[in-house]
Every structure is written in C-alpha cells, then in structure tokens.
Amino acid sequence: MPQVVLVNPQIPPNTGNIARTCAATSTELHLVGPLGFEISDRYLKRAGLDYWPYVKLHYHESLEAFKTIHKKRGGRRLGFSVKGSVNYVQFQFQDDDWLLFGSETTGLPPVILSACDATLHIPMAQPQVRSLNLSVSVAVSLFEARRQLGCLM
C-alpha cells in the first residue's frame, strides 16, 4: 500500500490529523526531520486523539536517513506540490508508492522534487488560493490512491 511521507512538517495539529488518517487506513506514516515540533507535543497528541497506538509511525532524523530506508524498500517517490506537473487524479498509483509532502510553509524543497519519479498537484479552481491545508492534501491524495488500487474500506 502507498505510504505517506511528511518532510519537515511544522504544525502539530496537521501532523496529528494526518496520523489519524493513516491510522484509519492502516497506512505507514514517515516523518522526516527536522520537525517544527516535538513528537510528544500536546497539540500533536490531541489532534491524533487516542489513535496513536494504531499509527504505523516511522521517524527519520534527516532526509539522508529516509533515503536509506526508501532505497532498501523500493517504490516510486511521488512529490506533491502546487507546481506538480501531473493532476493527481490522472496519475496511475501503484502499491509501493511513497506520497511525499513538504512543510506547510515552504512545501517540498526543489532538490527533493527533482529526485521524485513524478510530481503531482491537486487542482484548485480559485487561482488566488495558494494551496490546500496539508492534512487535506494528504487525505485527498491517499484516498485517490487507495480508490485506484481497490483498497477502500
């Protein structure tokens, strides 16, 4: 099943909400540091409510540490960005995909985007809206991947 990767997330409630989505879907969640908060942050815990025992959480201290795990496990790295070249609903997801999302303030750095196998975007009708909330973007993307792969609950 696809896995969710958050690179340098900054806002605890977003990460908590994403963890809750990952718990509900049995999706592995990878946090790549540095983080903008402590893993024990009360806002992070509160957003995830009592679902943390069900989160398949992996913490990587750096991008290099994450790259090592990715290399061992394989699969495509799919970078999500407002500058992505492919509409996410027109993309064909695979079981071993890694869905990469950047921080709420800066998104994925160019060096990460350039190393991705594909860059995807979620279309928005209103050009004045810069982006969707990170937790919304993850949920929309993850559920589309799961829908395509026939993995809806």
Residues making up the annotated binding site are: 102, 122, 131
Which residue is associated with the tokens 């190393």?
115
62's CB contacts (< 8 A; 6+ apart) are: 32, 33, 34
> How far is 152 from 129, CA to CA, in rounded Å?
30
71's CB contacts (< 8 A; 6+ apart) are: none
The letter for the amino acid at 79 is: G
> How far is 110 from 38, CA to CA, in rounded Å?
25
**Which parts are annotated binding residues for S-adenosyl-L-methionine?**
102, 122, 131
